Amino acid sequence: MEKVKTLIIGSGPAGYTAAIYAARADLKPVVYEGLQPGGQLTITTDVENFPGYPEGKMGPEIMDDIRQQALRFEADIRTGMITKVDFSKRPFVCTADDGKIIEAESVIIATGASARWLGIKGEDEYSGYGVSACATCDGFFYRGKTVAVIGGGDTAAEDAQYLAKISKKVYLIHRRDELRASKAVQQRVFETENIEMVWDSVPVEIVGEQQGFVKAVNGVVVKNVKTEEQKTIEIDGVFVAIGHNPNTRTFREFVELNEQGYIKTIPGTTKTNIPGVFAAGDVQDPNYRQAVIAAGSGCMAALDAERFLNENR
């Protein structure tokens, strides 16, 4: 059994930033990177809204930069997952996927949230080449172009409005004949001239073209759920806005979650209902889901953990 001061579960901007601050505070953090080392930014191509990169940079490169910075301060970053936790008493007992058992005086959960995808043909093929789950991250690349948003809730409606300010035209594709978004948000959508509703329709395929190594979306095939009729809508990009799933399954027996399944934290902190257990990044953020905010909360979590350990020696 290994004993550590601070165990960080998950990587990405939150986990790696927590590792930087925890290592500099001599907490000797151990980081388990999880299924997707580097988080969602590793499946993003050009990133132009993360501070410090004036010319933009590929998502995987940014995450590797932050990872290398954590390693510079001697954070112990490990490939693997934490598959079981016992937060009923301190030190907390956590089990890795290789069977290794770790006793941790403090734990930072930074497992993120995974976008829900459609699971249709072409979605994986064009992911990062015209298919995105983040309008605020990637909308800039579609200035003056035509895009589609898939979904009918507040997120989809807000994404459509955001993109309408940038793009020439936005198709909002929804499987029903009315939106699930709040009435005020719906009204703004209907009043936006360059948003066109595509009712009673589901996407069945994302199509595009490839020239050499360059891929590009040029259409989405939709099916009317009432008539079964199919048609292709010509677009330059698709934004999937059907929600996210916070990666909290391992912790839900102990940590308090909100109705959406995100970890609840005390406002203004990263503290959970378990003293000594902290949550940072998208796993506790259903609203913003931005890398820079995740990084900031990772910093907060490390500072909260340091203060907790100082107070509970």
Q: Where does the pLDDT of residue 171 fall: very low under 50, low under 70, confident under 90, or very high at 90 and above?
A: very high
Cα dist from 280 to 107, 228, 300, whole Å = 11, 44, 8
Share of the chain above pLDDT 90, in %: 83
What predicted TM-score, i.e. pTM, was given to this entire model? Answer: 0.79
Annotated active-site residue in 94, 137, 159, 285 = 137
Annotated active-site residue in 138, 236, 282, 285 = 138
Active site residue 137: yes
Using the predicted structure, report yes or no on whether residue 44 has a pLDDT greater than 80: no
Task: State the chain's maximal CA–CA distance in angstroms.
Answer: 67
Q: Where does the pLDDT of residue 210 fall: very low under 50, low under 70, confident under 90, or very high at 90 and above?
A: confident
Using the predicted structure, report yes or no on whether residue 235 has a pLDDT greater than 70: yes
Mean pLDDT in residue range 25-46: 86
Neighbouring-strand partners of residue 230: 223
Q: CB–CB of 22/74 below 8 Å?
A: no
| Beta strand residue intervals within the chain, DSSP E | 2-9, 30-32, 46-47, 57-58, 76-78, 82-86, 92-96, 101-109, 113-115, 131-132, 146-150, 169-173, 195-198, 201-211, 214-224, 230-234, 237-240, 244-246, 277-279
Phi, psi of 295 (to 5 degrees): -60, -45
Specify the range with the lowest mean pLDDT, choosing from 92-96, 128-132, 236-240.
Answer: 128-132
- The per-residue pLDDT for range 60-73, each reduced to its tens digit, is 899 999 999 999 99
Identity at 215, one-letter amino acid code: K
Domains 2-114+244-311 and 117-240 share a fold: yes
Q: Which fold has domain 117-240?
A: FAD/NAD(P)-binding domain (3.50.50)
Cα dist from 242 to 151, 200, 278, whole Å = 5, 15, 28
Annotated active-site residue in 94, 134, 159, 236 = 134
pLDDT at 212: 79
CATH code assigned to 2-114+244-311: 3.50.50.60
Burial 99-115 (b: 16+ CB within 10 A, else e): eeebebbbbbbbbbbbb
Residue 154: which H helix or E strand, with range?
helix 154-164
Neighbouring-strand partners of residue 101: 95
pLDDT at 45: 65
- The per-residue pLDDT for range 267-313, each reduced to its tens digit, is 999 999 999 999 999 999 988 888 999 999 999 999 999 999 999 98
N- to C-terminal Cα separation, the chain: 20
Q: CB–CB of 130/214 below 8 Å?
A: no
> Hey, is 278 helix, strand or coil?
strand
Q: At what angle do helices 59-72 and 12-24 cross, to 10 degrees?
A: 20
10 Å Cβ neighbour count for 296? 16
Active site residue 26: no
**Mean pLDDT, the chain, whole residue set:** 94
Active site residue 299: no
Going from N- to C-terminal start, the domains of the chain cover 2-114+244-311, 117-240
